[in-house]
A and B are shown apart, each in its own frame.
Chain A
Amino acid sequence: EPEVTQTPSHQVTQMGQEVILRCVPISNHLYFYWYRQILGQKVEFLVSFYNNEISEKSEIFDDQFSVERPDGSNFTLKIRSTKLEDSAMYFCASRDTGGDVQPQHFGDGTRLSIL
């Protein structure tokens, strides 16, 4: 069964450094998402992407964050200058289109640790 893949599985970065998290969504999907979960808290929506542009973003997704689909397969989340509070599990998800509401399919996540 096709799946969403995320790399790396664990990223350790110094505070203030830039980090790029990578995702390969399911190939025929058209909607892409990033979520995060800070340890002990809820999974939180960050941003959605469709038709090569951001569709929706949450309050968390400030100017430090950006997303890109640089080619036909990858979907990346960049954090420009990382802070300690960016430490979290980051999940990518993708969704098919279709007449009925389709579920979002999640990757295994990238654990981001900011030192």
Chain B
Amino acid sequence: ILNVEQSPQSLHVQEGDSTNFTCSFPSSNFYALHWYRWETAKSPEALFVMTLNGDEKKKGRISATLNTKEGYSYLYIKGSQPEDSATYLCAPGGGGADGLTFGKGTHLIIQP
């Protein structure tokens, strides 16, 4: 069973500030790392799928980096807005039909 840790568990950020949080996962047998954004009462929304060490992906104000050798990924949000309030989940997972192993998530609250 993979041990996936996300920190912090929750985070309060002022609107306009930038923030980041961490996902740690076993570096052995790594295939891919998925980030999801999950708003209450909605379905988890795929943000990024990352596979290569040193990879960096960006979607608007959100970006992520990946270190497969040491087993961590950072998610950054620049200039936080209230609509960024959500739980951010990471999950390493293989290709094909492999299931994802999720962390507990970082619950982000943006305060106006």
Interface residues of A, Cβ cutoff 8 Å to B: 3-4, 31, 33, 35, 41-50, 55-56, 58, 91, 100-109
In the complex, the answer to whether B97 meets A91 with C-beta atoms within 8 Å is: no
| Residues of B68-112 contacting chain A, CB below 8 A | 89, 91, 95-105
Interface of A is mostly: strand
- B31, B46, B98, B104: the one contacting A103 at CB < 8 Å is B46
In the complex, the answer to whether A101 meets B32 with C-beta atoms within 8 Å is: yes
24 contacts between A and B (CB under 8 A): A3-B43, A33-B97, A42-B102, A42-B103, A42-B105, A45-B99, A47-B99, A48-B99, A56-B97, A91-B44, A101-B32, A101-B49, A101-B51, A101-B95, A102-B49, A103-B49, A104-B100, A105-B43, A106-B36, A106-B44, A106-B45, A108-B41, A108-B42, A109-B43
Number of interface residues of B (CB under 8 A): 25
Cα–Cα distance between A58 and B97 once the two chains are bound (Å):
12
Cα–Cα distance between A82 and B80 once the two chains are bound (Å):
43
Known: A42-B104, A101-B31, A103-B34. A48 touches B98 (CB 8 A): yes
The tally of CB-CB contacts under 8 A between chains A and B is 63
Interface of B is mostly: loop
Q: Interface code B13-44, partner A: CB below 8 Å = 1, 0 otherwise?
A: 00000000000000000011010100001111
